[in-house]
């Protein structure tokens, strides 16, 4: 049994236990379910901030109206997340999913203290009074509170349900009515358990949760480079063993990512420059800069496979090209294979980490802006990385960033090729007979496909300061494999 297989044997049970845990699944599925709302809200952020003077003057009278969709999508994301998380968790317990979602929303709202505005206060020239819910508590600021309250509310619902503490209706009553009456006691319990601590004892659960997670949020989503590297490392590492890294890490990191990108969006909407936003490491940062073509930055490998002389690899490359443009690379991960393949696992893990470091340096130096919108993850890489608010071409800036990006990504791939060369030169001659396995001929035929001068790809370099990273990563891998000089004999790898 190889080292990779022994390590996988130990990691798989733990990763599967985390990924299949019902609360983790509910959080992951619930947050994914509200993606359409945040994506649509992102479009209105772009619509309100296109940096063309004539356009900005034109929409000035309607800015408040155009801002409404953003406020009622992204601005209320905690409320929507509470419903979806509660619904998924309730369904996993075979409870009524609608009732579960409503109880989760109720618990979230009960954690908020309404603002009591006395008479005589004027807002925009109008006198206002009454009790108002602070909307900020329902945006990304209250996301973790919404998650915790949703989980607790559904556990209360389940506790009462399994003990048959409910009002039972006669057999002739419609199921909808019977279901409503059966939820009376769970609803009362949720109200009392959340209402008394918050409104009588003045315990601010949201503030406590924010205080606890603040160090973690600053470590993983702010400007902490080490936190960004650690996040990227574990996502890629799980994939090497055939485990969906985003599924395992999602319940922990996605709420932090969502908070970070929404905070950037709100500040950008308020007029903060895209270069001065507080959070660098958002989910979009990793999607558009660190993971070109999907996890592990495999788009370049797809192109090399297309040029391969091996029928299997050429077919796999053609099959994976279109999905790779839309950041879907499972055909490459399981077809090459990258899973359990130590030669390809090294650049698969290291290249995105190097991308993270290099683009982080570009960002803090002011060469590229920070993320302020949330396009779909399957948005093509080059389009996703473009800053549509800074559309002027800046050739010198793009060239400098590209060279730094190439130099940084060259090292892990080149080192992997050198190890392959050394291992093949010292290996027994009998290993040549096994060269036609997919894993064994990857490096060899990648080199066969890379004999053309690397300057040819330079004509595709976009003259844009955001540097669409897919093309730069393609160029650096092209140069890295060509740099080995000689074509080594192939070696077979065990899948």
Residue 492 belongs to a domain: no
Range of the domain at 156: 19-203
Domain boundary among 203, 237, 252: 203
Q: How many CA atoms lie within 13 A of 93 on its CB side?
A: 25
147 with 280, same domain: the answer is no
Same domain, 328 and 393: yes
Q: Does residue 130 sit within a domain?
A: yes
Co-location of 315 and 456 in the same domain: yes
Same domain, 155 and 290: no
The pLDDT assigned to 122 comes to 66
The torsion angles phi and psi of 480, rounded to 5 degrees, stand at -65, -45
3-class SS string, 358-382: HHHHHHHCCCCCCCCCCCCCCCCHH
Task: Output the pLDDT for position 149.
Answer: 93
Q: Same domain, yes or no, for 278 and 352?
A: yes
Q: Which residue has the higher pLDDT, 495 or 225?
A: 225
Q: How far is CA 225 from CA 221, 268, 359, in A?
A: 9, 22, 11
Whole-number mean pLDDT of the chain? 72
Q: For residues 222 and 382, which has the higher predicted lDDT (pLDDT)?
A: 222
Residue 491 lies in a domain: no
In a domain, 73, yes or no: yes
The answer on 288 and 191 residing in a single domain is no
In a domain, 176, yes or no: yes
* Domain membership flag for residue 208: no
pLDDT tens digits for 415-465? 443 443 344 344 433 333 333 333 333 333 333 333 333 323 222 322 232
Q: What is the pTM of this model?
A: 0.63
180 and 230 inside one domain: no
Q: Are residues 286 and 173 in the same domain?
A: no
The answer as to whether 110 is a domain residue is yes
CA 13 to chain centre: 24
Is the predicted pLDDT of residue 320 greater than 60, yes or no?
yes
In a domain, 311, yes or no: yes
User: How confident is the model at residue 1, as a pLDDT?
Assistant: 61
Residues 196 and 229 grouped into a single domain: no
**Highest mean pLDDT out of 52-61, 74-83, 317-326:** 74-83
Q: What is the pLDDT of residue 5?
A: 66
Whether residues 229 and 194 fall in one domain:
no
Tell me, yes or no, whether 195 and 261 share the same domain.
no
- Tell me the average pLDDT across 475-492: 36
Distance in angstroms between the alpha carbons of the first and the last residue of the chain: 11
- The yes-or-no verdict on residue 80 having pLDDT over 90 is yes
* 377 and 426 co-located in one domain: yes
Q: In this model, does residue 384 exceed pLDDT 60?
A: no
pLDDT in tens, 2-31: 665 676 677 667 767 776 789 988 988 898
Most confident of 137-141, 309-313, 383-387: 137-141
How many separate domains does the chain show? 2
């Amino acid at each position: 049994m190889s080292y990779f297989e022994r390590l996988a044997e130990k990691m798989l049970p733990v990763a599967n236990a985390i990924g299949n845990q019902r609360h983790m699944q509910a959080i992951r599925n619930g947050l994914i379910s509200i993606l359409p709302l945040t994506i649509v809200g992102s479009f209105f952020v772009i619509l309100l901030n296109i940096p063309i003077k004539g356009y900005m003057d034109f929409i000035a009278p309607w800015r408040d109206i155009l801002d409404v969709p953003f406020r009622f999508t992204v601005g209320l994301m905690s409320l929507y997340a509470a419903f979806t998380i509660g619904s998924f968790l309730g369904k996993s317990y075979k409870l009524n999913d609608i009732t579960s979602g409503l109880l989760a929303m109720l618990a979230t709202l009960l954690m908020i203290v309404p603002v009591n505005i006395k008479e005589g206060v004027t807002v925009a020239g109008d006198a206002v009074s009454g009790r108002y819910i602070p909307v900020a508590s329902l945006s990304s600021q209250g996301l973790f509170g919404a998650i915790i309250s949703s989980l607790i509310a559904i556990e209360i619902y389940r506790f009462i349900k399994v003990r048959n503490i409910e009002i039972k209706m006669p057999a002739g009553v419609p199921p909808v009515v019977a279901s409503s009456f059966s939820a009376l006691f769970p609803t009362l319990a949720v109200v009392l358990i959340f209402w008394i601590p918050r409104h009588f004892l003045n315990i601010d659960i949201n503030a406590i949760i924010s205080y606890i997670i603040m160090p973690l949020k600053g470590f993983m989503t702010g400007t902490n480079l080490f936190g960004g590297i650690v996040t990227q490392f574990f996502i890629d590492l799980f994939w090497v063993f055939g485990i969906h890294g985003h599924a395992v890490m999602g319940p922990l990191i996605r709420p932090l990512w969502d908070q970070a990108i929404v905070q950037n969006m709100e500040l950008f909407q308020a007029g903060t420059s895209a270069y001065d936003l507080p959070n660098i490491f958002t989910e979009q940062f990793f999607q558009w800069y660190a993971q070109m073509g999907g996890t592990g930055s495999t788009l370049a490998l797809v192109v090399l496979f297309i040029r391969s002389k091996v029928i299997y690899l050429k077919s796999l490359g053609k099959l994976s090209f279109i999905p790779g443009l839309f950041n879907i690379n499972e055909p490459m991960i399981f077809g090459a294979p990258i899973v359990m393949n130590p030669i390809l696992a090294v650049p698969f893990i290291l290249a995105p980490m190097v991308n993270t470091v290099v683009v982080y340096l570009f960002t803090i130096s002011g060469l590229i802006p920070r993320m302020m919108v949330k396009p779909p993850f399957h948005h093509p890489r080059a389009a996703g990385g473009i800053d549509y608010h800074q559309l002027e071409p800046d050739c010198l800036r793009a060239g400098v960033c590209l060279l730094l990006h190439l130099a940084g990504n060259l090292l892990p791939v080149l080192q992997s090729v050198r190890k392959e060369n050394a291992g093949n030169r010292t290996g027994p001659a009998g290993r040549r007979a096994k060269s036609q396995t997919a894993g064994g001929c990857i490096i060899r035929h990648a080199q066969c496909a890379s004999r053309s001068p690397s300057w040819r790809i330079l004509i595709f370099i976009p003259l844009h300061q955001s540097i669409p990273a897919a093309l730069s990563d393609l160029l650096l891998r092209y140069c890295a494999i060509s740099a080995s000089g000689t074509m080594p004999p192939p070696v077979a790898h065990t899948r």
